[in-house]
Amino acid sequence: MAERTAIIGSRVGLHARPAAIFAEAAAEAPVEVTIALQGEPVDEALDASSILSLMGLGAEYGTTVVLRAEGEGAEAALEQLAAILETDHDAE
Amino acid sequence: MSQKFTGVGVSAGRVIGSVRRMPDPILPPADGAPLPAGSSAEAESLRLAEATQAVAAQLKERAAQATGDAQAVLKATALMASDRTLLKSATRLVASGTCAESAIWEAADAVATQLSALGGYMAERAGDVLDVRSRIVAELRGVPAPGIPDSDQPFILAAVDLAPADTATLDPAKVLALVTSDGGPQSHTAIIARSLGLPAIVAAAGTTALADGDHVFVDGIDGLVITGPGEAEEHLAATYANREALPEFSGTGQLRDGHRVPLLSNVGSGDDAQLAAAAGAEGVGLLRTEFCFLGKDKEPSHDEQVAAYGAVFAAFPGRKVVVRTLDAGADKPLPFLTDASEPNPALGVRGYRTDLSSPGVLERQLQAIAQAAGEHQAEIWVMAPMISTASEAQEFAQLAKAAGLATAGTMIEVPSAAVLAGQILQRCDFVSIGTNDLTQYTMAADRQLGALAELNDPWQPAVLHLVAATAAGAQAAGGKPVGVCGEAAADPALAVVLVGLGVDTLSMNKRALAPVAAVLRTVDLPTAQRLSQLALDAESAEAARTAVRAQLGELDRFGL
């Protein structure tokens, strides 16, 4: 299983707009991606393409999260998704 | 055949247009209702999945047409509608034998509860989840989606009544006028219509018969809705459309003879205050501090309060800002202050009375106001809502002075306070009449009840007699200032009457500044006094309004 940590770069946390951008990208990824707060057990990881799960995660600016995926293209997909999490979308 | 409905005109204007009805609110399905007869869990799951996709597609389409923040919000709600985790938990309920409506209702409820528990911004998003849920249930039931209807053409919105949540999404470029069968002159519909400058009629019983596409004439001046308008109505609408533009408010309120009537604005936030200052307001006559508290489950910190009040004070350097202390209760409950189980909240522990049940909150608020006052140049006055006795007025003034606030006053909303204004003003520095509540308490008529709209009218001669009693009390106490900060001050004809009754300053929504200023400039003080006598002597609110309006020719010129 591929795994990648990311630090939330959005100043307002993983709220509606950044969560929407990320959920859309996760839904388009060729593999199923999960997201969890760092330190949470793997089986509590949530569907990364679910905006409601992302918002319910309560990840604030600076929170470390873990992305996981399996299958072909997993590494590249996680890399791309981590980059989205680390960007401050409200600074655009 | 032409049909005529009579209601109460609460915002001036005459227009002709096509009706769109506000859909009925979506009623919750029964808890855990079973699968429909003859259906299977598979078929029901498919129906649910299709409904969520349909709602997501509608929201996406609206997002594509929107721009900016609205677009971002619509995009996020579209994603919520098609959310896989939400669908999965609802499908699990369907698999256990629950129908689609009840399943999505329960699943979304769990998500909203979780978001609410996170507090702050996320808690606000819980409302979006519930909105999406209603849309999905509407789709499943095959009824129109809740909320303001979507239309390419501007329309006349007909509803039973509008809630604050509905009016928040109302686009004034799409809506020509508002017609409600329920609601009174002080309802949210009336307040929002005036603030958006839209013609509006409330309590027009029978307008529930109006259907989508009906061609109607709406007269917000005379309180009429007429179907199948003819030449006479077309002429009236055209005259209104060609009305003379109102002169911009110069920033100095006065009568024709130069008698000064400072025109202030009612505001709820720093942004609001900036807009009011730009519109020429001579200060703030009512700062509603509860806007800083609403939606909070605990008291805001000292620093939060100082920042919120300071943002308003910064907009009015050297000008007066009247701060009303926390007015919680009745229609503005706060979990940490008010008891939601009171049988009659309008007559319960609200306004200043919460200081008895939750001592300390008011003192801390006064300290925050005092600190913000010290950091800015505005002249700060404070007043307490829902004062009923002279001793309450005295206690409040002592609390304010102890916090270092030099000018302390009382709202006049309870009839007892109007009757004893003289005694009250021996113990504090000024009064401000809140006509919305004063009317509801004088007439013993709930502000929100459409059936009582006729009673709930600030033109009621009894209410005007209490305004006169307040002004007389202020004179007797050495000429202390009397203001009005209720909706009455925003009605240009009634504003003339209030000045004639002895009111010194008027505070209103910023949009009312220009019309009120324009009409005040057409009368001198003796005329205003004569008109106020006409209103006091009238036998009904309607008769008072008609008698005074007939003497104010300028109202027609400006289409007011």
CATH number at residue B74: 1.10.274.10
Confidence of residue B207 (pLDDT cuts 50, 70, 90): very high
B86 touches chain A (CB under 8 A): yes
- Taking residues B65-94, report their average pLDDT: 88
Least confidently predicted of A21-35, B56-70, B227-241: B56-70
- Among chain B residues, CA nearest to A53: B85
Q: Indicate which CATH number applies to the domain containing B221.
A: 3.50.30.10
- Name chain A contacts of B84, Cβ cutoff 8 Å: 47, 49-50
Q: Higher model confidence: residue B331 or residue B362?
A: B362
Q: Do B86 and A23 touch (CB under 8 A)?
A: no
Residue A25 lies in domain: 2-91
Q: What integer pLDDT is reported at residue B330 of this predicted model?
A: 67
C-alpha angle B385/B390/B393, rounded to 5°? 40
**pLDDT of B172 higher than 60:** yes
Least confident of B175-189, B214-228, B264-278, B517-531: B175-189
Say if residue B202 is in the same domain as residue B54: no
Mean pLDDT of B199-225: 91
Flag if A15 and B121 touch (Cβ within 8 Å): yes
Same domain, B171 and B293: no
The range of the structural domain enclosing residue B328 comes to 263-409+492-557
Q: Confidence band (pLDDT; 50, 70, 90) for B64?
A: confident
- Quote the CA–CA distance of B469 and B486 in Å, as a whole number: 17
Per-residue model confidence (pLDDT) at position B557? 81
Q: Mean pLDDT, to the nearest integer, of B74-92?
A: 93
Q: Is the pLDDT of residue B236 over 90?
A: no
Q: Does A49 touch chain B (CB under 8 A)?
A: yes
Are residues B69 and B198 located together in one domain of the fold? no
Please tell me whether residues B510 and B532 are part of one structural domain: yes
Query: Does the residue B31 lie in any domain?
Result: no
Whether the predicted pLDDT of A54 surpasses 80? yes
Coil, helix or strand for B264? strand
Interface test mutation site (partner B, options A10, A49, A55, max chain B beta carbons within 10 A)? A55
Banded model confidence at residue A3, pLDDT cuts 50, 70, 90: very high
Task: Please report whether residue B95 resides in a domain.
Answer: yes
Lowest-pLDDT choice from A57-66, B32-41, B305-314, B449-458:
B449-458
Residues B502 and B378 in one domain: yes
Q: Are B72 and B114 within one domain?
A: yes
CB of A11 less than 8 A from some CB of B? no
| Nearest by Cα to B524 from B504, B556, B499 | B499
| B85·A12 Cβ contact <8 A | no
Average pLDDT over residues B344-365: 89
Q: Is A89 a catalytic residue?
A: no
Q: Which of A15, A23, A56 sits opposite B79 (nearest CB)?
A: A23
> In chain B, helix, strand, coil percent, each to 5?
50, 15, 35
pLDDT of residue B291: 75
Last residue of a domain, one of B141, B163, B184: B141
- CATH label of the domain that carries residue A42: 3.30.1340.10
The stretch B247-254 carries a mean pLDDT of 94
Q: Tell whether A7 is within 8 A of chain B (Cβ).
A: no
Domain count, chain A: 1
Q: Where are the alpha helices (DSSP H) in B13-119?
A: 41-65, 68-81, 84-95, 100-118
List the single residue in B73, B84, B125 with the smallest CB-CB distance to A55: B125
Q: What is the mean pLDDT of residues B248-265?
A: 96
What pLDDT score was predicted for residue B88?
95
> What percent of chain B has pLDDT above 90?
64
Task: Decide if A24 touches B, using CB distance below 8 A.
Answer: yes
**A58/B121 Cβ within 8 A:** no
* Residue B471 pLDDT class (50, 70, 90 cuts): very high
Residues of A in contact with B79 (CB under 8 A): 20, 23-24, 51
- Of B73, B76, B84, nearest to A50 by CB-CB distance is B84
Q: Does B257 fall in a domain?
A: no
Mean pLDDT across A47-63: 91
Average pLDDT taken over every residue of chain A: 90
Same domain, B235 and B271: no
Residue B173 maps to a domain = yes
Full strand arrangement of the beta sheet holding A64-69: A2-7, A64-69, A33-37, A46-47
CA-based nearest residue in chain B for residue A46: B85
Most confident listed range (A67-76, B56-65, B238-247): A67-76
Q: Specify the pLDDT at position B454.
A: 82
The answer to whether residues B169 and B273 belong to one domain is no
> Which of the two residues, B76 and B496, has the higher pLDDT score?
B496
pLDDT of the residue at A60: 87
Pair B210, B332 in one domain: no
Tell me which of B79, B89, B111, B130 to substitute to probe the interface with A (most A C-beta atoms closer than 10 Å).
Answer: B79
In this structure, is residue B321 part of a structural domain?
yes
B457 located within any domain: no
Q: Are A17 and B76 inside 8 Å of each other by CB?
A: yes
A58: helix, strand or coil:
coil
What is the structure's pLDDT at B46?
96
B150 pLDDT band (50/70/90 cuts)?
confident
Return all residues near B235 (Cβ < 8 A) that are at least 6 apart: none
Q: Is B80 on the interface with A (CB under 8 A)?
A: yes
A69 confidence band (pLDDT: 50, 70, 90)? very high
Looking at the DSSP bridge assignments, the partners of residue B18 are B215
Question: Averaged over B241-268, what is the pLDDT?
Answer: 93
Structural domains in chain B (count): 3
Nearest to A51 among B73, B80, B114 (CB): B80
Verify that B215 and B189 share a domain, yes or no: yes
- In the predicted model, what is the mean pLDDT of residues A50-57? 91
Instruction: Among B118, B122, B124, pick the best mutation site for testing chain A contact (most A Cβ within 10 A).
Output: B122
Task: Inform me whether the C-beta atom of residue A90 falls under 8 Å from chain B C-beta atoms.
Answer: no
Paired with B384 in beta bridges are B410
- pLDDT at position A91 over 60: no
**pLDDT of A89 strictly over 60:** yes
Q: How high is the pLDDT of residue B164? A: 66
**How many contacts does A have with B, using Cβ atoms within 8 A?**
49
Q: What is the mean pLDDT of residues B324-348?
A: 79
Cα B208 to Cα B179: distance, rounded to the nearest angstrom: 10
Mean pLDDT score, B50-79:
86
Q: What percent of chain B has pLDDT over 70?
A: 98
Asked if residue B483 belongs to a domain, the reply is no
What pLDDT does B254 receive? 97
Residue A90, pLDDT above cutoff 70: no
Judged on CB neighbours under 10 Å (0-12, 13-18, 19+), B360 is exposed
The one catalytic residue among A13, A15, A37, A61: A15
- Identify the active-site residue in B188, B292, B376, B428: B188
Asked if B111 lies within 8 A of A58 by C-beta distance, the reply is no
Q: Is B428 a catalytic residue?
A: no
The candidate with the shortest Cα–Cα distance to B246, out of B508, B523, B512, is B512
Average pLDDT over residues B360-370: 96
Same domain, B397 and B294: yes
In a shared domain, residues B102 and B67:
yes
Tell me: pLDDT of B152 over 70.
yes
User: Nearest C-alpha of chain B: how many angstroms from A79?
Assistant: 23
- Which range (B158-167, B329-338, B478-487) has the least confidence? B329-338
- Cβ of A76 under 8 Å from any chain B Cβ? no
- Look at the alpha carbons of B253, B256, B258, B261 in this order and tell me if their dihedral is positive or negative: negative
| Residue B188 reports pLDDT greater than 80 | no
